[in-house]
Amino acid sequence: MKKSKLSLLLVLSLVLSMFLAACSGGNKDNSSKDDGKDKPVAESKLADKQELNVLESAEIPTMDSVLGTDVMSFTTMNAVNEGMYRLDQDQKVVPAGAEAMPEYNADKTELTVKLRKDAKWSNGDPVTAHDYVYAWQRAINPKTASEYGPYFMEGKIKNATEIGQKKAKVEDLGIKAEDDYTLKITLERPIPYIESFITFQLFYPQNQKFVEAQGKDYAKDAAHVLYNGPFKMTKWNGPTATEWVLEKNETYHGAKDVTLTKINFNVSKDPQASANAFTAGEADITPKLAQAAIISQFEGSDELIQYQEPTIFWIKMNQKNKALKNVNIRKAIALSVDKQALVDDVLANGSIAADFFVPKAFAFDTNGKDFRDTTDSYQKTNKEEAKKLWEKGLAEVGMKEVALTYVGGDTETSKTTDAFVKDQLEKALPGLKLTINSVPFNIRIDREQKMDYDLLFSGWGPDYADPMTFMDLYLTGGDHNKMDYSNPKYDQLVKSAQTDLAAKPEERWKALQEAEKIILEDDAALAPMYQRSVNLLINPKVDGFVHHAFGPDYSYQWIKILKK
Amino acid sequence: MAKYILQRVIYMVITLFIVASITFFLMKLIPGSPFKSFTKLTEFQQTLLLEKYGLNDPLPVQYFNYMKNTVKGDLGISFQFNNTPVTELLANRIGPSAILGLQAMVVGALFGIFLGTIAALKQNTWIDYGSTFIAVIGKSVPSFIFAGLLQYYLAVKLHWFPVMLWRGPEYTILPTIALAMFPISIAARFMRTEMIEVLGSDYITLARAKGASRFQISIKHALRNALIPVVTVLGPLAVSLMTGSLVIERIFGIPGLGEQFVKSIDSNDYPVIMGTNILFAVLFVVIILIVDILYGFIDPRIRISGGKTK
């Protein structure tokens, strides 16, 4: 999915983050700071006041779990509510509302989940299997008009597509309560990443009696939501509120492991102002800061946390263009940009050069090995090779000069990036002329949809922890393809990873690796540029801060405040 | 007078109608949809969503429906803030923007008029040059620079004020100063020019000849006359200050309207764009009417009679 994060830079970076944020999250920690997070902290080291002040970059658009589409909603829901499973400090899927990991039938299309019996809603009702069934049905019910309901369930949860098309009843959805504490989930096909998939907030339970009693007022403010997670919201005046408060939920089944008593949230959309508030001691955690100028103020400080998020930015090449239809020309373009200089000198925020399609520190195989560590990298910058390919390509299409329209964003970061790319390409490839169109986010999406571009700079963050969230983008005729890319071999590999290889993780992984090689090395269908880094400031007294790669950005429940 | 006001109100309604219509059609020209993950959905799902919110109807139908609801006082619901009514959103957000705008306006007008007046009275002295200098700085340096500097030095370094957020009167001081720089400079420049012109006019010479004191002349005769053009520019300026400054609100983390308006455009939140724009238009026409009526009090020569201003 597209991420959008926003003065001009802010606006741009904000826009980028909204889009991207909906789909992305943190990943395994690379920062040294969190290395000690698993070590228990001695009581004596804890500060007397276990209270945290957090700045966030946006309001919470909704607390109705079936309507959420953005990372602020997901992060807050992850703190105050709970589904069957959640991601732990090491990004492993662990039981939460469930008693244990699911049991599968032979072909892995049916999951049986036993729920824990001590889970309670904040009104005292027990959390039962019926609450899950109700929420899932509500998410897919066309009357609810959920965006993520159909997006997540169709093709995966049994009958979801048919319900969306009104060919089946909502009650036919592949989730049934066998008794109060046993759920049976039926899938359309085996899904290798189903366990992490259903940690997503969309799959959280909802208390039918409460939701229906509130009617239109459901989730309109803190008093109109029920909580079953580590925290409960004690202050939130609704989606326009720029201030909200979470307090420890004493009736949470894991309450004894939650140390924080209170978290105060405020919205700050200006990164420099957020850094100022942090410096003045008014905030313990800042929002993500993308600007090199701000990050450099904290270079080398133990307050600055930096990690790669699984969001990749790339140049799409529209094969409707005669020159770009030629594979050698595309390869030449992909090899001509000095990506290392781009991340080191232009972005200067810890982002890394992307010689790959599936990001680092995001998808792990059954042994826990990073997808990236089990396969090659592609499209390493090589300007000499690029020039040869360029000349060969030009000869093949019978052109001497190529003029291309390059569509990019209108934020400061985008503009400098685009200027750099143009300079690199035009210098490396004689006869190439780029015209940059810097346009607002919505216009860029529009032009991408209409394929009104030759080269287009865009990005994508994952919706779930599997390479498929990237791989299925460029299937022939896919909704996100929009560059006329088509390779039957790629299609076949990706589709078999979706279907017949679904239960064979090792072969599936190989198929995905092969597909990545085809799209980058063989076809150079798109030219990845960089994987984005997150930078944020955290007070060193905050121990146990955890970030995630998809769904919610962070988990607060393991945080402890240390004595200074 | 009553007839005059009635006539003006009728014009105001026509103006608002035109503004709302133009905004409506311009807004529909923005590409994109108000749904955040719209492009992720299949075409079938997209159609369902558009139908549910009536966005698939032909434009004239949407326009007619919108105008009908607006007349009834229903501005629709926000897309970005999950189904929050636009009227509620505006009501929640206008407060901080209005307080900040009013404070900045009062500080800006008083200080600016004072600066402009003494500059004119002490023409071509260091006082004059100093006040011109302040006016030039206030007009040419963007408010986010002032805001950033004030925040960094007075809040982060000296701890005199809170860095940001909106929790009480002390939180309003820095943003008010940052926001007031522009009205100060505008008021000071206009005031100085007008004062100099008025001070050179015949009736001031007459007042001097009568033996009125310098103070009396400045305040009673000159100031009053010089205020007219200043009031003209400050009226609309007050509206733009009260409806929120994107930059100041961002930097000081103030839950106002300015930031919200820009974001609604970015996210194709049609009802919020329309609602905010109509609110701004209403404020503008009302303030302009008030300014016109004020003229009569400031300058008896401009008494309104029979629907005409002389």
pLDDT digits over B225-284, tens only?
Answer: 777 778 778 877 887 787 767 788 888 888 888 878 887 887 788 888 888 888 888 888
Contacts of B175 in chain A (CB under 8 A): none
pLDDT for residue A264 is more than 90? yes
Nearest Cα neighbor of A555 from A45, A54, A41, A162 is: A54
**Letter for the amino acid at A105?**
N
Greatest distance between any 2 Cα atoms in chain B:
86
User: What is the token pair recorded at B5?
Assistant: 């006001």
Residue with the bigger pLDDT between A430 and A17: it is: A430
A537/B contact by beta carbon, under 8 A: no
Q: How far apart are CA A553 and CA B4, in angstroms?
A: 59
Comparing alpha-carbon positions, the chain B residue that sits nearest to A221 is B84
CB pairs A-B closer than 8 Å: 143
Q: Mean pLDDT lowest for which of A38-52, A275-289, B183-197?
A: A38-52
SS3 per-residue string spanning A358-410: CCCCCCECCCCCEHHHHCCCCCCCCHHHHHHHHHHHHHHHCCCCEEEEEEECC
Q: Mean pLDDT lowest for which of B112-121, B143-152, B290-299? A: B290-299
As a whole number, mean pLDDT of residues B79-93 equals: 79
Per-residue pLDDT, A8: 40
Closest CA to A36 of A560, A563, A564, A537: A560
Assess whether pLDDT exceeds 80 at residue A405. yes
Measured in whole angstroms, how far is the alpha carbon of residue B38 from the centre of its chain? 35
A1 in reach of chain B (CB within 8 A): yes
Which two tokens mark A477?
A: 């005729």
Instruction: Spell A416-443 as b/e; 16+ CB within 10 A means b.
Output: ebbebbbebbeebbeebebebbbbbbbb
Encoding tokens for residue B160?
Answer: 């005199």
Q: Name the DSSP class of A473.
A: G
Q: Six-digit token pair at B145? A: 């620079």
User: How confident is the model at residue A130, as a pLDDT?
Assistant: 94
| Domain CATH number, residue B77 | 1.10.3720.10
Report the distance separating Cα A144 and Cα B52, nearest Å: 10
Of the candidates A2, A64, A273, the beta carbon closest to that of B251 is on A273
Share of residues in chain A with pLDDT > 70 (%): 92
Task: State the DSSP H helix or E strand holding residue A233, giving kind and residue range, or none if neither.
Answer: strand A231-236
What value, to the nearest 5°, has the Cα angle with vertex B271 and ends B269 and B272? 65
Q: In the predicted model, what is the mean pLDDT of residues B219-226?
A: 75
Per the CB < 8 A criterion, the answer to whether B36 and A69 are in contact is yes
Q: How distant is the Cα of B32 from the closest Cα of chain A, in angstroms?
A: 5
Q: Is A69 helix (H, G, I), strand (E, B) or coil?
A: coil
pTM exceeds 0.90: no
Packing angle of the helix pair B270-298, B2-27 (nearest 10 deg): 150
Contact in structure between A505 and A192 (CB atoms under 8 Å): yes
pLDDT in tens, A61-85: 889 999 888 888 999 999 999 999 9
Distance of CA B237 to the CA centre of its chain: 5
**Two structure tokens written together for B87:** 């009227």
Among candidates A70, A151, A165 on the partner chain, residue whose Cβ is nearest the Cβ of B41: A151
Q: Which residues contact A169 (CB under 8 A, 6 or more apart)?
A: A163
How much is the pLDDT for A528? 93
Beta-carbon separation of A280 and B159 below 8 A: yes
- The DSSP secondary-structure symbol of A215 reads G
Point out the least confidently predicted range of A222-236, A242-256, B192-206.
B192-206
Query: How far is residue A69's CA from residue A71's CA, in Å, rounded to a whole number?
Result: 7
- pLDDT average, residue stretch B193-201: 81
Contact at 8 Å (CB) between B20 and B278?
yes
Q: Report residue A239 as tokens.
A: 């989606």
Give pLDDT, residue B275: 85
Domain total in chain B: 1
Give the per-residue pLDDT at B260. 80
Each residue of A449-467: pLDDT tens digit?
A: 889 999 999 988 888 888 9
Partners of residue A6 in chain B, C-beta under 8 Å: 266
Phi first, then psi: give them for residue A101, nearest 5 degrees: -70, 155
Q: What is the DSSP string of B122-190?
A: TTTSHHHHHHHHHHHHHHHS-HHHHHHHHIIIIIIIT-SS-SS--SSGGGGHHHHHHHHHHHHHHHHHH
Handedness of CA A501, A502, A507, A512 (dihedral sign): positive
Is the CB of B40 less than 8 angstroms away from the CB of A59? no
Q: Which residues numbered 267-296 in A keep a CB inside 8 Å of some CB on B?
A: 267-270, 272-273, 276-277, 279-280, 282
Q: Please state, in angstroms and as integers, the Cα–Cα distance from residue A224 to each residue in A123, A136, A219, A220, B89, following that order.
A: 11, 20, 5, 6, 18
Using an 8 Å CB-CB cutoff, list chain B residues near A145. Answer: 48-49, 52-53
Count Cβ neighbours within 10 Å for each residue of A370-380 and write b for 16 or more, e otherwise: bbbeebeebbe
Is residue A484 pLDDT above 70, yes or no? Answer: yes
Please list the helix, strand and coil fractions of chain B in percent, rounded to the nearest 5, in that order.
Answer: 75, 0, 25
As a whole number, mean pLDDT of residues A84-102 equals 90
pLDDT exceeds 50 at position A546: yes
ipTM: 0.77
For A196-233, write each residue's pLDDT tens digit: 899 999 999 999 999 999 988 898 889 999 999 999 99
Give the integer Cα–Cα distance in Å for A111 and A194: 10
A62: nearest CB among B41, B82, B255: B82
Angle at which helix A412-428 crosses helix A327-336, to 10 degrees, equals 120
Closest CA to A371 of A464, A307, A466: A466
Domain that holds residue B21: 1-310
Local structure of residue A285 (DSSP, 8 states): B
- Which A positions 108-127 lie with beta carbon below 8 A of chain B? none
User: Chain B contact for A89, CB < 8 A?
Assistant: no
A411, A6 contact by CB (below 8 A): yes
Instruction: Dump the DSSP string for B197-243.
Output: HHHTSHHHHHHHHHT--HHHIIIIIIIHHHHHHHHHHHHHHHHHHHT
Is the pLDDT score of A520 beyond 80?
Answer: yes
Torsion of CA B93, B96, B99, B100, to 10 degrees: -120
Which residue shows structure tokens 């509120």? A241
Dihedral pair phi/psi, residue A268, rounded to 5°: -135, 115
Other CB atoms within 10 Å distance of the CB of residue B12: 17
The closest alpha carbon to B179, from B105, B94, B280, belongs to: B105
Angle between helices B224-242 and B173-199 (to 10 degrees): 150
Buried b / exposed e along B33-50 (16+ C-beta atoms within 10 A): bbbbbbbbbbeebbebbb
Q: How far is A322 from chain B (nearest CA, A)?
A: 27
Strand partners, A433: A403
**Nearest by CB: B253 against A10, A267, A443:** A267
Residue A341 in tokens:
């200089």
DSSP B269-304: -HHHHHHHHHHHHHHHHHHHHHHHHHHHHH-TTS-E
Helix, coil or strand: residue A455 = strand
